[in-house]
Structure 1
Amino acid sequence: MRLIIKLVFLFLPCYVFSQTVINVQQFPVKEAKQAVAVDKDHFYVINNSTITKHRKATGEQIAVWDGTKDSVKHLNSGVVIKGKLYCANSNYPQSPMAGSIEIFDVATMQHTGNHSFGIGYGSVTWIDEHDGHWWVAFAHYTGRGAAEGKDNRWSCLVQFTKSWQMVQSWIYPAGIIEKFGTKSNSGGVWGKDGLLYITGHDNPELYVMQLPEMGYTLKHIKTIPVPVYGQGIALDPSAKRNPVFYGLSRGNNTVIKFELQ
């Protein structure tokens, strides 16, 4: 059964807009803790050290990659591009922060490549491809996992060329940092509308962002209440009309597919 939720709000300083969310499907997945990636026929549930592959129609698990033997401890968000799953990987909560992108063949679920950032930027939380570039979020935290002398205001979004040369970077506005609490930007994806959809760590909200015309701070366009609770999100590339997202409810180990109208 499809659950249709009409969410109507008054105009507020935090830019919450009226929005209809169609909660299309829910799938119980024991490992649903960090993020979801999706392609035409499957979704991929990313946990700290494992990735499971599931049929989109039923949620049935059909394959698994286990990185515990390789000492992989904190995979974050992922995105599927041309048959490859690109996963953000970090050493959270260790310090100094280190991170990499780990690459998998989704047909075989074998690890096929790596790009390491070392300790240069922060904790790698998500990656996407947009406008001929890589876009990678680097988190900083307030409290547990924080780098010495820094807090989550140091979090940033970095644009790279396809050969991993840095182009430019942006910080998050103060209101979004407040929404993150002591955590940071956990998930993100570029929409077909040219807007950036990001999540924090716990709040059931999507923050719609835009690159600024001037300066170095991302522009917050609106906040959309959604039935997922932070962490990594994915946009279904096979959706024909309205954007269809996949996300998580970690509290009850559920993958949630929903559509925005």
Structure 2
Amino acid sequence: MLAFLLALAATAAVPANDGATETLRRIPAVEARQGVAVGQHDVYAVANYRIARYDKRTGEKRASWEGDPQRFPHINSCALIARELVCAASNFPQVPQASSVEFFDPKTLTHKRSISLGMGIGSLTWVDRRGGAWWAMFANYDAKGGEPMRDHRYTQLVRFDDCWRRTEGWALPRAILDRIAPMSISGGGWGPDGRLYLSGHDLPELYAVTLPKGGATLDYAGTYTMAAEGQAIDWDESNLGIFWGIARRGGEMIEMRLPGSR
């Protein structure tokens, strides 16, 4: 009986597959190491202290930026927000963990300014904007890049006001934590359906969550398979239901469609 209950609990912890995303095309990009950002006419490949802008139609490289690796050791993801390229950065895999938000000109990729979030609750992996607030994910890890007494279960979503003061925070549901261990969440962003979509470190899976009506843990809403091998994603706000990810091994930016979004 005990063995049956343990097996049942283990099965319940594994998310069901809610469908496969459709792969539309791939654009080669040597900088596709950490994530991708997308705008109306461009896609951006992100690789720690390097960012490159590619023409979304032709795949031609239009601009690039390379920063000091000591100052920018780990830019993990970017997103186009209010006519700026807003990037999540940290000192991963160094500890103590420290994070910042870096702002770039989306055309020239000139670095404009920085918001230091300092040390405290994990390594910043992505930033998004919704409902007049900033949303950010702070990753924690079991080994490399992690801090003593905090493992992947301490990964959390935080909402900030315009002055980057924390206003609320949520933990991840077990259904996702069991899948991403011993790593964490690498990418995320609010989808066109109002749900928050998250990607892990290396699994080709996209997780949907919603804010809970009570409690401090996000509600699990589904899992989708995708061509991207984890890492940071970004929604194409100019094409409903379209998002982008990367394949690190092939050095590609991948355009994908969420099921049922045609």
Instruction: Give the TM-score taking structure 2 as reference length.
Output: 0.91
Distance 1:12 1:258, change over 3 A: farther
Could you tell me which residue of structure 1 aligns to residue 249 of structure 2? 251
Q: CA separation in 1, counterparts of 2:171 and 2:53?
A: 33
- One-letter amino acid of the structure 1 residue matched with residue 90 of structure 2: S
Aligned-residue identity in percent: 37
Could you tell me which residue of structure 2 aligns to residue 223 of structure 1? 223
Could you tell me which residue of structure 2 aligns to residue 93 of structure 1? 93
Contact 1:210 1:218 survives alignment (8 Å): yes
Could you tell me which residue of structure 2 aligns to residue 72 of structure 1? 72
- One-letter amino acid of the structure 2 residue matched with residue 178 of structure 1: D
Could you tell me which residue of structure 2 aligns to residue 123 of structure 1? 123
Q: Deviations over 1:170-193 (max 9, x none)?
A: 011122111112111100010121
Could you tell me which residue of structure 1 aligns to residue 5 of structure 2? none
- One-letter amino acid of the structure 2 residue matched with residue 257 of structure 1: E
Q: CA separation in 2, counterparts of 1:152 and 1:173?
A: 12
Q: Deviations over 1:203-241 (max 9, x none)?
A: 1010000111111011111001111111100100110xx
Q: Deviations over 1:102-128 (max 9, x none)?
A: 000112211111111110221000000
Q: CA separation in 2, counterparts of 1:68 and 1:248?
A: 24
Aligned-pair CA distance for 1:13: 6.0
Q: CA separation in 1, counterparts of 2:126 and 2:224?
A: 20
SS of 2:153's equivalent in the other structure is helix
- One-letter amino acid of the structure 2 residue matched with residue 50 of structure 1: R
Could you tell me which residue of structure 2 aligns to residue 110 of structure 1? 110
Contact 2:21 2:224 survives alignment (8 Å): no
Q: CA separation in 1, counterparts of 2:107 and 2:158?
A: 29
Aligned-pair CA distance for 1:64: 0.4
**2:176 matches 1:176:** yes
Q: Which segments of structure 1 move beyond 6 Å, counting only runs of 4 or more? A: none
Aligned-pair CA distance for 1:12: 7.3
Q: CA separation in 2, counterparts of 1:191 and 1:206?
A: 12
**2:225 matches 1:207:** no
Contact 1:50 1:68 survives alignment (8 Å): no
Aligned-pair CA distance for 1:70: 6.0
SS of 2:177's equivalent in the other structure is helix
Distance 1:220 1:150, change over 3 A: same
Q: CA separation in 2, counterparts of 1:57 and 1:164?
A: 36
Aligned-pair CA distance for 1:260: 1.7
SS of 1:178's equivalent in the other structure is helix
Could you tell me which residue of structure 2 aligns to residue 4 of structure 1? none
Q: CA separation in 1, counterparts of 2:47 and 2:15?
A: 32
Q: CA separation in 2, counterparts of 1:136 and 1:47?
A: 19
Contact 1:15 1:221 survives alignment (8 Å): no
Aligned-pair CA distance for 1:15: 3.9
Q: CA separation in 2, counterparts of 1:49 and 1:20?
A: 32
1:33-44 matched pairs, under 5 angstroms: 33-44=33-44
Contact 1:33 1:248 survives alignment (8 Å): yes
1:137-176 matched pairs, under 5 angstroms: 137-176=137-176
Aligned-pair CA distance for 1:68: 2.7
SS of 1:252's equivalent in the other structure is coil
Instruction: Give the TM-score taking structure 1 as reference length.
Output: 0.91
Aligned-pair CA distance for 1:200: 0.5
Q: Please, which runs of 5 or more residues in structure 1 have no aligned partner? A: 1-10
**Two-structure CA RMSD over aligned residues (Å):** 1.5
Contact 1:14 1:223 survives alignment (8 Å): no
Q: CA separation in 2, counterparts of 1:20 and 1:46?
A: 25
Could you tell me which residue of structure 2 aligns to residue 22 of structure 1? 22
Q: CA separation in 1, counterparts of 2:79 and 2:18?
A: 28
Q: CA separation in 2, counterparts of 1:18 and 1:174?
A: 17
Q: CA separation in 2, counterparts of 1:109 and 1:93?
A: 25
**What is the count of residue pairs matched by the alignment?**
249
